[in-house]
C-alpha cells in the first residue's frame, strides 16, 4: 500500500484519458483496491477489521485525488480561451410586493415588545367601523364620499355593511376578543375609501396599534412611537406630537418624525430640504383611547386606559424609501413590482 | 380646513415679544399647526391648519386667544390688546329709524342667533388700503368696500357675514324656514341650485327664496354698484343642517366650512358692532333701524369636575396644580380648586369641543407641552396570539418568500374588480358583493376569486416582460345570507408559459411545505389548473395548505440495502399515459420512486428505483418487477 506512489501517479497525469486509465487501475473491478480486498481472507481474524478500514480509507483518498485532478484537467481544456469575467449561472430572483416587506418588518418590530398581530374583517358593519369608535350617525367620515358602502340589506343591529375605511374597527373587535386588559394589538389590513387620484388609491394598507392596561399614559405612547421610529426609520430618528382631533381618541395627536432625507436639519447641502417642512414629516394620527371606545369594547374606562394609533403603510414606505408614486402600488405593473 | 392670516393683523389683538418664527414654532407644538410662514414686505403670512373641532380658532382673534395661553409657556409675553367680546357691545351702535325688517322664524331649531341692522346712504367703492392689502395677502379677492368688509371680519372673528341689498327684499320680510324638495334658488355665483329639501332658507314677502343660509346669498338680493341701503346680516345656524345642504348641493363655500362646524353665538354681537363701525366709516352708511337680535337660548355655561389624580394618570407625570390653573385660565376657562379637585367652567366658544374631563386633560397636556412629557415604553405584558391568526401570517410569509425564490413576482391587486372582468372570466356577478357608491366601474365588485385579477395582470403586462409568473395571496369575499361575507385567504398563481411550468411550481410548493399532494389522486391532469387564452392559472385555499403542512417530512430510515436503478422508455398515447404507467408500476411493493429522465416527442424515458426493506435485491428481481408494467 504505497499511497505516496499512487498519489504522484495521479498528480502527474496530464490528460483526462490518463486519469480514466488510473481510475480503472486503482478502483476498477480488477483494480488495486479490489485486489487488496481479496487478500482479506489471508489476514488473521483479529487484524481483519483494522485491515478493512485501512483499505477503505485508501479508496476514499484515491477517489478524492482522482476527482480533484479530473476537475483541474477539465478546467484547462487544452488551452481554449476561458472568460472568467462572464456572469455566473442565472438563478431566478422573483420579487415580493414592497408592502409585504413593510408588513413583515413592522410586525417584527412590534412583536419584540409583546404586540400580537391580529386579523379582522375588511368588510364590516357600520357599528364596528363607526359607532364603536365614537363616530355617531351623521359624522362626516360616514358620508358616502368618505366611506365605501356595500349594496346589502341594512341590519337592524349593526347598520350598513361597509368596506373598512381604517384599521380601527379592529379596536372594538380586539377588546371584545380579549375580554379584559392587557391588550397589545397590531392590526395590519387593507382599508378602502372612495378616493382615487395622484396621491390616493381606493385601497391602501394601515397598521393600527392598540395598548390597553392599568395606568397607560401619554408617556407610554411616546415611548412606543420613539421605539418604532428608531427601529423602522433608523437610529437617531425622533418623534414629536402635535395636538389634533380624532373622534376615537382624547387627547388626540398627530405624530411627526424627523425627516429621513435631511435628518431633521431641514437643509440638504446647504439648501432647504425639498421633502419636509422644517425638518419633520407627518406620520399619522394617534391618541389616548376615548373613554366611549373603551366602554363600547366592554372595558371600564375608570379602571383602564390606553393608547392607539393608525398609520399608512404606503406612507411609511414612501418616507423610508422615497417611493412616492402610490398609483404604481396596486396597478400590477411588473416593471415597478419586480424591482423589490 | 386651512386659514391664512398675517402677523401684523394678529398684532392688532395680540401684544407679544415673540417673533413670527417663534409664534409659528410654539403654536404648532401646542395648538394650531402653522404649516408655513411666508414673508411679504414687512409682514408674514401664516398658513394655519384648523382641526375640525376647533373652528373657534379659525380667525385672527381665535389665534390670538390661543397664543395668550401658549406663548407664556415658552417664556414669551403674550396678552390680548383688547377683547372685542367685552368691548364691542350693541350699545356702541347709534341706532336710527325709518326702516324695518319683519322676521319670522318658523322653526327655532334652524337659527341659534339672528342679528340684522339696516344702513342707508351706502356708497359702493374701493375698500381702504389696509383691508385691500390684508385680503390680498391671504389670497382673498378684493371686490368692493361692502363685500371686502364681510370677508375681512370673517377672518378677524371667524364669523361669516352677509349683506343684502335691502331694497331688493320684497316687502322687507324674511321668513326663515326649511326648504321644500325641488325648490330653486340662484346663488351669487349665478348657479341655479335645486334644493334637496330640509335646507335652511330665507323667503321674502313675495314667496321667493333670497338666501341659502350659511352657504351663499341669493343673486336676486345681491349688492351691486347702485346699492343704497344694505341689510347687515350676522347669524349662527344649526351646524348639521348646514353640513347636509353644503354636501348635497355641492356648494362648498368658505362660509359653509365655518357654519357646518358650529359657531359661537357670543361672537355675533362683537362681529355686528365691528361691521357697523366699518360700514359707517368706509361705506358712509348710517344706521336707519333698530337692531334685530333673536337669541332664544343664551349659553348658560357648563362646569366639568375633574380630580388632580386624573391628570397625573393619563399624562403620566404629575403636573403642578398651579400650572393647571394657569393654563386653563389663560385659555378662557374659569377654574375653582378645592381639595385636589377642579371645577372648570367652559367658555362659550369651547362649548362644543369640551364635554368631559379628558378634554381638559388634553388642554392642560398640550399647553404644558407634549415635548415636555417623558417617553418610556409601557411595562411588558404577555398576550396570547390566537393560533389561527398566527398561522395565517406565518404561512403567508413563508409561501411568499418561497415563490419569490422560485422566480415569481408578487402582485397585490385591488379587492374590487369590474363587471367586465367578472363576465370575461365566466363568473356570475350576482354571486359578488357590489359597492353601492363605487367611484369607478373598474372597482365595483368584491372579488370571489383572485384569478380574474391575475389574468388581467398578465394581459396588462404583455410586452413589458417576456416570461410572466405572477402570484398573489389575498382575501376573497364570499357573500353570506344575513351576515358579513366569509373572508377567505387564497393563493393565486398565473403564468404565460405552459401547463407544466405551473404544475411544477405547485408541486415544488407542496414539497416545500412537506405536503403530499393528495388533491386528485386519480386524475392525471391537474384539474385545478385552468387555462384562459393560453395562460395558465391556479387558485389554492391558504387554509388547506396550513392544515396539511408538516414542519419536517415523515422520517425515513436510511435503507442498508442496495437500490437498483432501471431505465425504460415508453411510447405515450391515450392508452399509455404517465399516470397509467405510474399506477401500474406502483403495484410493485419494491418500487420506491420514479424519475422522468427525458421526453422526446412521445417517447418517455423513466428511471425506476427498486429496493427492499429486508434484503439486497438482485438486478434480476428488479427487472422482473419492471417487466410487469
Q: Dump pLDDT digits (tens) for B437-474.
A: 999 999 999 999 999 999 999 999 999 999 999 999 99
DSSP, residue by residue, B22-66: HHHHHHHHHSSEEEEEEEETTEEEEEEE--TT-GGGSSHHHHHHH
B533, B451: one domain: yes
Assess if residue B557 is contained within a domain.
Answer: no
Q: How confident is the model at residue A10 (pLDDT cuts 50, 70, 90)?
A: confident
Residues of chain A found within 8 Å of residue B405, distances taken between Cβ atoms: 92, 94
B194, B271: one domain: yes
Assess if residue B123 is contained within a domain.
Answer: yes
Quick check: B443 contacting A, CB < 8 Å? yes
Which whole-number Å values give the CA distances from B396 to B171, B223, B512, B517, in the listed order? 74, 67, 13, 19
Whether B178 and B188 have beta carbons less than 8 Å apart is answered as no
B103, B21: one domain: no
**pLDDT at A78 exceeding the cut of 60:** no
B467, B588: one domain: no
Whether A249 and A290 have beta carbons less than 8 Å apart is answered as yes
Q: Which of B375, B390, B501 to mutate to test the interface with A (most CBs of A within 10 A)?
A: B375
DSSP symbol at B371: G
B467, B513: one domain: yes
**Mean pLDDT (chain A, rounded):** 91
Shortest alpha-carbon distance between residue B475 and chain A (Å): 9
Regarding predicted confidence, which is higher, B245 or A69?
B245
Residues 378-407 (B) with a CB less than 8 A from some CB of A: 378-386, 389-390, 392-393, 397, 400-401, 403-407
**pLDDT at B520 exceeding the cut of 70:** no
ipTM of the complex: 0.90
**What is the reported pLDDT for A76?**
63
B257, B178: one domain: yes
Are B358 and A291 within 8 A, CB to CB? Answer: yes
β-pairing verdict for B603-610 and B564-571: antiparallel
Q: How confident is the model at residue B519 (pLDDT cuts 50, 70, 90)?
A: low
Determine the Cα–Cα distance for residues B497 and B466; give it in Å rounded to an integer.
9
Residues of chain B found within 8 Å of residue A185, distances taken between Cβ atoms: 383
For range B19-40, the mean pLDDT: 95
Assess if residue B380 is contained within a domain.
Answer: no
Q: How confident is the model at residue B614 (pLDDT cuts 50, 70, 90)?
A: confident
Q: How many domains does chain B have?
A: 5
**pLDDT at A170 exceeding the cut of 60:** yes
Residues 6+ positions from B101 with CB-CB distance below 8 Å: B116, B118, B166, B169, B172, B173, B174, B231, B289, B292
Determine the Cα–Cα distance for residues B602 and A149; give it in Å rounded to an integer.
56
- The CA dihedral of B578, B583, B589, B594, to the nearest 10 degrees, is 20
B106 closest CA partner among B11, B201, B33? B201
Quick check: B467 contacting A, CB < 8 Å? no
**Residue at which a domain ends, from B548, B574, B592:** B548
For range A237-246, the mean pLDDT: 95
Assess if residue B461 is contained within a domain.
Answer: yes
CATH number for the domain that contains residue B574: 3.30.70.380
Assess if residue B43 is contained within a domain.
Answer: yes
Biggest CA-to-CA distance, chain B: 129
Whether B162 and B217 have beta carbons less than 8 Å apart is answered as yes
For range B556-563, the mean pLDDT: 84
**What is the reported pLDDT for B313?**
95
For range B216-226, the mean pLDDT: 93
Quick check: B459 contacting A, CB < 8 Å? no
* Domain of residue B410, residue span: 387-548
**pLDDT at A6 exceeding the cut of 90:** no
B172, B239: one domain: yes
Assess if residue B271 is contained within a domain.
Answer: yes
Shortest alpha-carbon distance between residue A35 and chain B (Å): 23
CA angle, residues A30, A34, A36, in degrees to nearest 5: 120
**What is the reported pLDDT for B523?**
67
Regarding predicted confidence, which is higher, B274 or A274?
B274
User: What is the reported pTM?
Assistant: 0.88
B513 closest CA partner among B487, B491, B532, B484? B491
Assess if residue B141 is contained within a domain.
Answer: yes
Per-residue pLDDT tens over the stretch B42-87: 999 999 999 999 999 999 999 999 999 999 999 999 999 999 999 9
For range B585-590, the mean pLDDT: 90
Which whole-number Å values give the CA distances from B526 to B89, B505, B510, B621, in the listed order? 86, 12, 14, 34
For range A328-336, the mean pLDDT: 94
Q: How confident is the model at residue B521 (pLDDT cuts 50, 70, 90)?
A: low
**pLDDT at B287 exceeding the cut of 70:** yes
Residues of chain A found within 8 Å of residue B36, distances taken between Cβ atoms: 277
Highest-scoring range by mean pLDDT, A275-279, B308-312, B619-623: B308-312
For range A96-102, the mean pLDDT: 97
**Residue at which a domain ends, from B294, B315, B331:** B294
Residues of chain B found within 8 Å of residue A195, distances taken between Cβ atoms: 439
**pLDDT at B203 exceeding the cut of 90:** yes
Rg (CA), chain B: 39
Residues 6+ positions from A134 with CB-CB distance below 8 Å: A247, A248, A290, A292, A293, A296
β-pairing verdict for B409-410 and B469-480: parallel
For range B338-362, the mean pLDDT: 94
DSSP, residue by residue, A182-227: -EEEEEEEEEE-S--BTTB-SEEEEEEEEEEETT--HHHHHHHHHH
For range A296-300, the mean pLDDT: 97
For range A207-220, the mean pLDDT: 97
CA angle, residues B312, B314, B317, in degrees to nearest 5: 40
For range A76-85, the mean pLDDT: 70
B321, B411: one domain: no
**What is the reported pLDDT for B249?**
92
Burial A121-148 (b: 16+ CB within 10 A, else e): bbbbbbbbbbbbbbbeeeeebbeeeebb
Residues of chain A found within 8 Å of residue B434, distances taken between Cβ atoms: 150-151
B468, B596: one domain: no
Q: How confident is the model at residue A1 (pLDDT cuts 50, 70, 90)?
A: low
Closest-CA residue of B relative to A121 is B487
**pLDDT at A226 exceeding the cut of 80:** yes
Assess if residue B225 is contained within a domain.
Answer: yes
Determine the Cα–Cα distance for residues A241 and A237; give it in Å rounded to an integer.
14
B285, B349: one domain: no
Percent of chain B clearing pLDDT 70 (strictly above): 99
Regarding predicted confidence, which is higher, B472 or B576?
B472
What stretches of B406-541 show up as alpha helix (H) in DSSP?
Answer: 419-424, 451-460, 499-512
Quick check: B456 contacting A, CB < 8 Å? yes
A-B C-beta contacts closer than 8 Å: 242
B341, B393: one domain: no
B358, B395: one domain: no
Fold assignment, A99-121+172-337: BirA Bifunctional Protein; domain 2 (3.30.930)
**Residue at which a domain ends, from B317, B336, B369:** B369
Amino acid at each position: 500500500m504505497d499511497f505516496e506512489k499512487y498519489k504522484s501517479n495521479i498528480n502527474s497525469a496530464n490528460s483526462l484519458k490518463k486519469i480514466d486509465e488510473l481510475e480503472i487501475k486503482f478502483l476498477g473491478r480488477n483494480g488495486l483496491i479490489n485486489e487488496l480486498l481479496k487478500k482479506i481472507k489471508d489476514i488473521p481474524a483479529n487484524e481483519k477489521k483494522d485491515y478493512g478500514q485501512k483499505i477503505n480509507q485508501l479508496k476514499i483518498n484515491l477517489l478524492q485525488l482522482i476527482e480533484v485532478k479530473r476537475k483541474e484537467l477539465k478546467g484547462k481544456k487544452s488551452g481554449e480561451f476561458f472568460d472568467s469575467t462572464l456572469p455566473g449561472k442565472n438563478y431566478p430572483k422573483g420579487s415580493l410586493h414592497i408592502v409585504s416587506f413593510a408588513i413583515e418588518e413592522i410586525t417584527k418590530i412590534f412583536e419584540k415588545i409583546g404586540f400580537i398581530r391580529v386579523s379582522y374583517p375588511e368588510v364590516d358593519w357600520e357599528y364596528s367601523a363607526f359607532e364603536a369608535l365614537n363616530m355617531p350617525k351623521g359624522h362626516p367620515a360616514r358620508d358616502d364620499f368618505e366611506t365605501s358602502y356595500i349594496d346589502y340589506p341594512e341590519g337592524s343591529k349593526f347598520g350598513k355593511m361597509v368596506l373598512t375605511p381604517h384599521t380601527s374597527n379592529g379596536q372594538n373587535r380586539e377588546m371584545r376578543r380579549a375580554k379584559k386588559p392587557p391588550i397589545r394589538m397590531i392590526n395590519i389590513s387593507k382599508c378602502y375609501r372612495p378616493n382615487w387620484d395622484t396621491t390616493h388609491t381606493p385601497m391602501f394598507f394601515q397598521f393600527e396599534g392598540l395598548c390597553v392596561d392599568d395606568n397607560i399614559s401619554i408617556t407610554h405612547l411616546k415611548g412606543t412611537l420613539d421605539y418604532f421610529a428608531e427601529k423602522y426609520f433608523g437610529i437617531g430618528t425622533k418623534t414629536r406630537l402635535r395636538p389634533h382631533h380624532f373622534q376615537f381618541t382624547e387627547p388626540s395627536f398627530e405624530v411627526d418624525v424627523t425627516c429621513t432625507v435631511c435628518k431633521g436639519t431641514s437643509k440638504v447641502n446647504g439648501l432647504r430640504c425639498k421633502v419636509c417642512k422644517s425638518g419633520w414629516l407627518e406620520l399619522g394620527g394617534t391618541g389616548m383611547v376615548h373613554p366611549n371606545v373603551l366602554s363600547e369594547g366592554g372595558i371600564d374606562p375608570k379602571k383602564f386606559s390606553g393608547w392607539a394609533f393608525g398609520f399608512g403603510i404606503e406612507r411609511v414606505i414612501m418616507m423610508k424609501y422615497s417611493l412616492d408614486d402610490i398609483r404604481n402600488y396596486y396597478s400590477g405593473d411588473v416593471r415597478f413590482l419586480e424591482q423589490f | 380646513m386651512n386659514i391664512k392670516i398675517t402677523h401684523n393683523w394678529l398684532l392688532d389683538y395680540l401684544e407679544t415679544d415673540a417673533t413670527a418664527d417663534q409664534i409659528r414654532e410654539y403654536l404648532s407644538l401646542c395648538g394650531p399647526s402653522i404649516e408655513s410662514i411666508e414673508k411679504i414686505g414687512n409682514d408674514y403670512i401664516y398658513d394655519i391648519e384648523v382641526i375640525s373641532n376647533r373652528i373657534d380658532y379659525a380667525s385672527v382673534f381665535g389665534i390670538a386667544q390661543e397664543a395668550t395661553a401658549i406663548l407664556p409657556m415658552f417664556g414669551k409675553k403674550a396678552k390680548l390688546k383688547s377683547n372685542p367680546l367685552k368691548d364691542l357691545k350693541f350699545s356702541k351702535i347709534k341706532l336710527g329709524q325709518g326702516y324695518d325688517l319683519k322676521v319670522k322664524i318658523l322653526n327655532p331649531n334652524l337659527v341659534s342667533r339672528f342679528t340684522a341692522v339696516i344702513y342707508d346712504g351706502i356708497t359702493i367703492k374701493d375698500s381702504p388700503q389696509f383691508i385691500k392689502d390684508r385680503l390680498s395677502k391671504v389670497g382673498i379677492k378684493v371686490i368692493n368696500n361692502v363685500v371686502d368688509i364681510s370677508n375681512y371680519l370673517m377672518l378677524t372673528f371667524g364669523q361669516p357675514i352677509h349683506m343684502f341689498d335691502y331694497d331688493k327684499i320684497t316687502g322687507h320680510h324674511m321668513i326663515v324656514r326649511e326648504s321644500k324638495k325641488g325648490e330653486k334658488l340662484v346663488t351669487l355665483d349665478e348657479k341655479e341650485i335645486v334644493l334637496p329639501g330640509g335646507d335652511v332658507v330665507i323667503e321674502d314677502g313675495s314667496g321667493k327664496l333670497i338666501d341659502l343660509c350659511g352657504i351663499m346669498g341669493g343673486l336676486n338680493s345681491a349688492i351691486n354698484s347702485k346699492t343704497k341701503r344694505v341689510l347687515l346680516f350676522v347669524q349662527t345656524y344649526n351646524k348639521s343642517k348646514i353640513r347636509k345642504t353644503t354636501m348635497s348641493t355641492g356648494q362648498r363655500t368658505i362660509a359653509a366650512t365655518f357654519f357646518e362646524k358650529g359657531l359661537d353665538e357670543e361672537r355675533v354681537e362683537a362681529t355686528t358692532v365691528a361691521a357697523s363701525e366699518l360700514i359707517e366709516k368706509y361705506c358712509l352708511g348710517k344706521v336707519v333701524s333698530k337692531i334685530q337680535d333673536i337669541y332664544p337660548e343664551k349659553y348658560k355655561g357648563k362646569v366639568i369636575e375633574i380630580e388632580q389624580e386624573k391628570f397625573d394618570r393619563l399624562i403620566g407625570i404629575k403636573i403642578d396644580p398651579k400650572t393647571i390653573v394657569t393654563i386653563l385660565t389663560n385659555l378662557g376657562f374659569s377654574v375653582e380648586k378645592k381639595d385636589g379637585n377642579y371645577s372648570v367652567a367652559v367658555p362659550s366658544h369651547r362649548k362644543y369641543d369640551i364635554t368631559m374631563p379628558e378634554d381638559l386633560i388634553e388642554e392642560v397636556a398640550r399647553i404644558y407641552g407634549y415635548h415636555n412629557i417623558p417617553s418610556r415604553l409601557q411595562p411588558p405584558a404577555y398576550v396570547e396570539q390566537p393560533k389561527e391568526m398566527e398561522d395565517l401570517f406565518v404561512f403567508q410569509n413563508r409561501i411568499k418568500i418561497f415563490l419569490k425564490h422560485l422566480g415569481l413576482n408578487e402582485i397585490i391587486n385591488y379587492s374590487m374588480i369590474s363587471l367586465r372582468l367578472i363576465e370575461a372570466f365566466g363568473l356570475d356577478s350576482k354571486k359578488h358583493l357590489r359597492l353601492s357608491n363605487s367611484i369607478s366601474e373598474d372597482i365595483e365588485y368584491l372579488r370571489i376569486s383572485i384569478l380574474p385579477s391575475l389574468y388581467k395582470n398578465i394581459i396588462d403586462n404583455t410586452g413589458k416582460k417576456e416570461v410572466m409568473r405572477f402570484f398573489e395571496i389575498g382575501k376573497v369575499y364570499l357573500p353570506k345570507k344575513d351576515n358579513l361575507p366569509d373572508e377567505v385567504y387564497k393563493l393565486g398563481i398565473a403564468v404565460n408559459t405552459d401547463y407544466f411550468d405551473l404544475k411544477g411550481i405547485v408541486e415544488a410548493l407542496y414539497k416545500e411545505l412537506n405536503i403530499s399532494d393528495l388533491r386528485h389522486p386519480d386524475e392525471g391532469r391537474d384539474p385545478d389548473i385552468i387555462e384562459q387564452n393560453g395562460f395558465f392559472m391556479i387558485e389554492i385555499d391558504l387554509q388547506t395548505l396550513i392544515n396539511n403542512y408538516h414542519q419536517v417530512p415523515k422520517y425515513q430510515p436510511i435503507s442498508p440495502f442496495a437500490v437498483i436503478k432501471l431505465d425504460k422508455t415508453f411510447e405515450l398515447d391515450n392508452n399509455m399515459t404517465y399516470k397509467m404507467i405510474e399506477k401500474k408500476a406502483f403495484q410493485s411493493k419494491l418500487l420506491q420512486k420514479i424519475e422522468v429522465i427525458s421526453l422526446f416527442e412521445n417517447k418517455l424515458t423513466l428511471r425506476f428505483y427498486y429496493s427492499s426493506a429486508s434484503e439486497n435485491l438482485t438486478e434480476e428481481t428488479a427487472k422482473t418487477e419492471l417487466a410487469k408494467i
